[in-house]
Structure 1
């Protein structure tokens, strides 16, 4: 038995899992929050000193956690940019997260290349405020001195790998991380340095993209460090999803991703063509409104929490007595309706009861995510099974409705840090390849996540009728907004 570790540096904390390299069994874990100050008004900071990630890593690894470990994999938050000068020092704090400062920069970049279709063809994604390429345009416009001194660009997981290796001359990344930058194409497997120059105003050094099973290097202490990847890709790898699987994540906003054999080009910008951590592709569709819809409904109905809202919704029946909620409370990205508002349709005297509105909120959220699934299906992505993630996936009203509304088997994995587990699995793969015991084309087979499996069963026809009711209201309210 070998021992490997997976390190996930999320926006808020570092979690480390130490695993058996043969089975994936978790042997021990470590955790530490990031020492970050919240900005005025709350929320997460848009600028972070990357040293905070190292401090958190050191704390999480304390107490001999990594004793006996032979290899480490690293995942970290996506949409991060660490700008370095020619000596490898940070020019300014890392730019992270969904940075609203960069919204104008995104529009500038789209126009600068000739429109949304040009970007979709170039790199499989249309710039949004969160994308690294957009942050570079903001930097060039807002902090020209810092932009001029920027000579090297890394993302969070690239920077952490580089630090663990002792800051070598060679800097690396992986396909998954590179595919989220806005200046690397999953279709061609190559950087677009012209897009970096378009955004930043000059050329820079970019990390070498290495294969999924390659090692980035070895630490001075002899630990093998695998390629690393983005948090999304690591979570997919930790779950063990394959062709025919999709992952639906229920946060305040929602996301749907699925494994696919080829990159997708979508000029509407609804699909972001990411690469995964195995050599395949991971198209992603996001929605702005998921659990925020439920929280809004709970406040409106005066119930204290989502568990109470779920209990109320279960007193209604599928279709909510004709009530349909289009949950576009923050505008929406899928369909692309940035300036719209939500819609409640089907109000009749008999439907104006709290339990029916509660049910409509759950069905509206899930139907919105069903629309995102249909965007992928409409492009030839096979979806036979859906993994449902997030605390809301545990709610009875979600579990009762999701299989029939999605039209598939639904798997609700036991809560775990699947990004850290995926990073450990990547470390085991790189270790096995280096020792000649694993094939670089075939990752290690680990025990799957402990999960509930839910089938649509006899409710399928009813669920599809509810979906059709939702689609009809959407088409009446926003004709042609969603072309799948």
Structure 2
């Protein structure tokens, strides 16, 4: 009757999933919304204390009888954020987030110091992109010099939550590979990339030790008491939200393609060796399972649909009905959904645009469809790079908020021309964190269960939500997608020197 808990510390909210492995059933799900500090310069920040308050609120909603059965907790967190902590464990400034594009100048400086993009790929497997943790350090040195001076430890969002839960500071390779400093081939910090970030300071001294994916730590007694949890709870290594969503969708063996339709859009697949792009077409990350996780990330997914819904005065929950009378191609409307700038392709200063407007097609239904199509096409554009590299997949496993939309599920199937399946547990990142916690707890107690076996046992597909491509719609989307790519080419040129 033991339970494991998965926490997902996202951009918009914190979610808690309590899972009963013996029944293979989620027994409780709770969430708490988060605010966002957005600046005109592209900055996006949150106070780390907001995450902790949200976690407290989620546990307070969990029935005490369920809390008493918890044996392990796993934490999923938004990637790339920077939480500056002093020697005493105090947070020194708001956390700069993955969607923060105010540090493009610092990205360029680090890249130049490292010898260019190609040398960055040789040193660590990834370029330095806006949003990655590395660029946030020189930005802080320039704009918050007092914080930089007091900085003792660099933590990512999920690392900070783990620190609060246990009093221990550590990182694991999946989330660490999103900093820009980890050599993903060797799973070690690149001294050259750290020196390129700040040649005057030993940043390695600010990085906590790297731990194995199946590691776990004891919860701090005071935190266990505060949350109403047993004192013997173990906290697993955790990982970035995409790494945890990979576990939650069963993407822990080669051949599976997962897609997350959240604030950002992501495609990711498991690999048993590093998969580095020679032209930086995708992110070459480690997984949080001991393998690797090639990943394509777009900065704008549900951001686009929610922005259009808000502008036209309806809820995105009603989006499917609003666009019910529209057709693939949105009557000629094309949206480049770059509300937060863009990462794939790398255009941090880009802005969203609505193109092809005429006297008849500017309706809320077409605008909403154009936003959904634009977000989907942006992911398809990244996927095309994988196809060119020879990667092939038989189906897509869909997760994230967008997976709740029947229209979006069908659109993904038609645009990618692949079957789409949806795991029973919709909160892929939180559920993945719970499964990692179960795996780590087993190993901490002398077990040797493989994570792939756990995933096969616990990640179930919901047949009622599966969909297959419609040939007629797929043809229409091909034409519309080509138009999207023409507009995208123009945008890449327009924003190249901005």
TM-score between the two structures when normalised by the length of structure 2: 0.80
Structure 1 contact 226–430 (Cα < 8 Å) conserved:
yes
Q: Give the deviation of 1:363 after TM superposition.
A: 4.1
The alpha-carbon distance between structure 1 residues 90 and 241, as it changes in their structure 2 partners (threshold 3 A), is same
1:107 aligns with 2:108: yes
Question: Partners of 1:86 and 1:230 in 2: how far apart?
Answer: 24
Structure 2 match to 1:20? 20
Q: Give the deviation of 1:74 after TM superposition.
A: 1.8
1:450 aligns with 2:466: no
The alpha-carbon distance between structure 1 residues 392 and 158, as it changes in their structure 2 partners (threshold 3 A), is closer
Structure 1 contact 388–412 (Cα < 8 Å) conserved:
yes
Q: Give the deviation of 1:385 after TM superposition.
A: 1.4
The alpha-carbon distance between structure 1 residues 418 and 307, as it changes in their structure 2 partners (threshold 3 A), is closer
Question: Partners of 2:156 and 2:488 in 1: how far apart?
Answer: 41
* Segment drifting more, 274-283 vs 87-96: 87-96
* Segment drifting more, 189-198 vs 284-293: 284-293
Structure 1 match to 2:225? none
Question: Partners of 1:102 and 1:246 in 2: how far apart?
Answer: 31
Q: Give the deviation of 1:11 after TM superposition.
A: 3.4
Structure 2 match to 1:202? 201
Structure 1 match to 2:69? 68
Q: Give the deviation of 1:252 after TM superposition.
A: 5.3
Question: Partners of 2:219 and 2:310 in 1: how far apart?
Answer: 52
How many residues align? The count is 470
Structure 1 contact 253–288 (Cα < 8 Å) conserved:
yes
Question: Partners of 2:5 and 2:484 in 1: how far apart?
Answer: 49
Structure 2 contact 414–477 (Cα < 8 Å) conserved:
no
Structure 1 contact 244–385 (Cα < 8 Å) conserved:
no
Structure 1 match to 2:290? 279
How do residues 208-223 of structure 1 correspond to structure 2 at under 5 angstroms?
208-217=209-218, 219-220=220-221, 221-223=231-233
Structure 2 contact 399–428 (Cα < 8 Å) conserved:
no
Structure 2 contact 336–488 (Cα < 8 Å) conserved:
no
Structure 1 contact 324–364 (Cα < 8 Å) conserved:
no
Unpaired runs of 5+ in structure 1? none
* Segment drifting more, 288-297 vs 386-395: 288-297
Secondary structure in 1 matching 2:103:
helix
Question: Partners of 2:358 and 2:86 in 1: how far apart?
Answer: 64
Secondary structure in 2 matching 1:15:
strand
231, 237, 245: which is aligned to 2:247?
237
Structure 1 contact 100–129 (Cα < 8 Å) conserved:
yes
The alpha-carbon distance between structure 1 residues 252 and 134, as it changes in their structure 2 partners (threshold 3 A), is same
388, 396, 412: which is aligned to 1:386?
396
Question: Partners of 1:30 and 1:310 in 2: how far apart?
Answer: 25
Q: Give the deviation of 1:393 after TM superposition.
A: 3.8
- Render the CA deviation track for 1:383-406: whole Å, top value 9, x for unaligned: 221133344444454344331221
Structure 2 match to 1:374? 384
Q: CA RMSD in A?
A: 3.7
Question: Partners of 1:376 and 1:84 in 2: how far apart?
Answer: 38
Structure 2 match to 1:261? 272
Structure 1 match to 2:336? 327
- Render the CA deviation track for 1:204-248: whole Å, top value 9, x for unaligned: 242222222222346443222211111221122122224332233
Unpaired runs of 5+ in structure 2? 222-230, 494-498
The alpha-carbon distance between structure 1 residues 290 and 94, as it changes in their structure 2 partners (threshold 3 A), is closer
1:182 aligns with 2:180: yes
Question: Partners of 2:428 and 2:50 in 1: how far apart?
Answer: 22
* Segment drifting more, 291-300 vs 460-469: 291-300
Q: Give the deviation of 1:152 after TM superposition.
A: 2.1
Question: Partners of 2:194 and 2:247 in 1: how far apart?
Answer: 29
Structure 2 match to 1:405? 415
- Render the CA deviation track for 1:72-96: whole Å, top value 9, x for unaligned: 2122222222223344443444333
Structure 2 match to 1:419? 429
Secondary structure in 1 matching 2:477:
helix
